Structure formats: C-alpha cells, structure tokens
Amino acid sequence: MAFLELDGVSKSFTVNGKTKPVLREINLSIEQGEFVAIVGFSGSGKTTLMSLMAGLILPDEGEVRLHGERVTGPSPNRGIVFQNYSLLPWLTVFENVKLAVDQVCRGWTTERKRERVLEYLKMVNLSPAAQKRPAQLSGGMRQRVSVARTLAMDPEVLLLDEPLGALDALTRATLQDEIERIWERDRKTCVLITNDLDEALLLADRIIPMTAGPGATLGPSFAVDAERPRDRRAIAKGAEFKHLRRELTEWLLTVARQQPTLPVSAPSSPQHPVVSGAAT
C-alpha cells in the first residue's frame, strides 16, 4: 500500500452556471520518504491538485488517501507551503511560526515551544529576523518563514505548491539548496509542484508531467536516479539530465499540441514550462 494515494480523482468547478472540469482521472501513489515533483503548464490545475491533497477541497469523484485513510479535510499532518506565502501580516516572524507550534504541540511548556520555534527559524536561516513583520522581509525570506511554519507542524507529508514561483532566479537557487538540505535531514514524503523543469530535476526522485487543462490529468513518471546532493552544473550540462529534460519537454509539448486551446507556435512563451538549455 502506498503512503499517499490519489485514486481516480476528478474535480470540476462551476463558474456562472457553466461546469468546467479541471482535473480528471488522477491516479498517483507516492511512497513514504519519496520526493515527487509535478510539472505542468500554468493554469493546468496544479494548485487544485495540491488543494485536494491538502484536503482544502474535496474531490467530486475518487478519493485521496493517506496511509490508507481517506482524506476528508485539512490537517497539520499534511503541511502545505503556499505559493503566496500566506503569512499573517500582523504577526512577527516568530509569532507566525509560533501559531503553528501552539496548535501542534499542545501541553508543551512555553519555554519548550519557544525553543521549537527558534529551532525551525534557525533551520531556514532566519534567526536574526525573528522579531520582524512579513512586510519588512524580501520575498525569499517570507517563503522561508512559510517553510519554517509548515515544518514546525512536523507534517507527515510536505506539500510545496510552486513555493519559489514568485522569486528571482538567484533567490530561487538559494532556496532550492535549502529545501534540498532540509529534506535530506529527515526525508519526509514531499510533493513539489513547479513549472521549472530544472527545479524538479534538482530536487525530485520522480517527475510527473501534467497535461494542459481543462480536464488535466497526470502523465507517466520519469525517475531521476542521480545521486544527492545534485550539482546544479551537472543538471545544466550532464548527459543524463539533458536526456531527461528533452524527454519531459517532448512529452509536454506533444500534449500541448493536442490541446487546441493552448498556443504552441512559440515554445519559449511564458505559458510553457521553463526549459532553459533544452534541446527541443
């Protein structure tokens, strides 16, 4: 039995009386301790998929199961890092993390809770900013707070919903390294949603491309067997990575051609996944 399972999951939304299928027939099983990346076009329903796994929304058909039990709502054991950080702006960095610690570590002494908050802030290199408010932080720092808050809940599954999507390339690279380092520490089951193929290649054990919406579904798995920690240069130049990247890109573009709603004439348009250095 897989650790986290999606079994025939479909979801549609009704807007102005019109029902629009977003996801159909999603089947996915993730083993404990596995790092899975899901890549796909913008607007293909990746965030919907993430919300389903988090339990923030429930599927129309099929079910999501965590170690065999059906997911019926959100819970701290499926910690989600939101794309837009979702920090509470009236609380300091410390208080934002403490909100999660207070909720998960009931019955602990104040001192022990404080130590836990500080421990996680240290893990994301934010100790000096503990008393600042989110508005005083850069985007990268805000996302670190969000990561610390989620990790402090000690979730069984870590759901990363395009966590670095809004950051500049250099900050992205730094945070990717940090996510890698933190993940190596206790190898939690992790699902990363991204539109950056290189990010997926750097972090994931397995990459699953998603077809374009509406009615998106998952494609075949592409295993990434390379040793960790992976070298950024090897990802840019290494033959194995080049091959994987080409295959993934081919797959995504083929799927996109079959979808008449998507512009496929310009493969480098921002609608498409980032395929820097890909030999298409």
Using rule CB under 8 A, residue 78 touches another protein: yes
Nearest to 145 by CA among 93, 90, 88: 93
Q: Are strands 35-39 and 18-30 parallel, antiparallel or unpaired?
A: unpaired
- Nearest approach, Cβ of residue 70 and another protein (Å): 17
Pick the binder of another protein from 35, 41, 82, 241 (CB under 8 A): 82
- CB closer to another protein out of 103 and 125: 103
Using rule CB under 8 A, residue 88 touches another protein: yes
- Nearest approach, Cβ of residue 4 and another protein (Å): 16
Binding span for another protein by CB under 8 A among 68-76, 114-122, 188-196, 229-237: 68-76
Per CB under 8 A, which of residues 118..157 are in contact with another protein? Answer: 133, 135, 153
- CB closer to another protein out of 88 and 169: 88
Using rule CB under 8 A, residue 58 touches another protein: no
Pick the binder of another protein from 100, 202, 203, 248 (CB under 8 A): 100
- CB closer to another protein out of 102 and 119: 102
Binding span for another protein by CB under 8 A among 17-25, 78-86, 245-253, 254-262: 78-86
Q: Give bridge partners of residue 223 from the DSSP assignment.
A: 206
Q: Three-state SS across the chain?
A: CCCEEEEEEEEEEEECCEEEEEEEEEEEEECCCCEEEEECCCCCCHHHHHHHHHCCCCCCEEEEEECCEECCCCCCCEEEECCCCCCCCCCCHHHHHHHHHHHHCCCCCHHHHHHHHHHHHHHCCCHHHCCCCHHHCCHHHHHHHHHHHHHHCCCCEEEEECCCCCCCHHHHHHHHHHHHHHHHHHCCEEEEEECEHHHHHHHCCEEEEECCCCCECECCCEECCCCCCCCHHHHHHCHHHHHHHHHHHHHHHHHHHHCCCCCCCCCCCCCCCECCCCCC
Binding span for another protein by CB under 8 A among 79-87, 164-172, 177-185, 190-198: 79-87
Using rule CB under 8 A, residue 246 touches another protein: no
Pick the binder of another protein from 99, 105, 166, 274 (CB under 8 A): 99
- Nearest approach, Cβ of residue 91 and another protein (Å): 8
Interface with another protein by CB under 8 A: which residues?
54, 56, 73-76, 78-80, 82, 84, 86, 88-91, 99-100, 103-104, 133, 135, 153
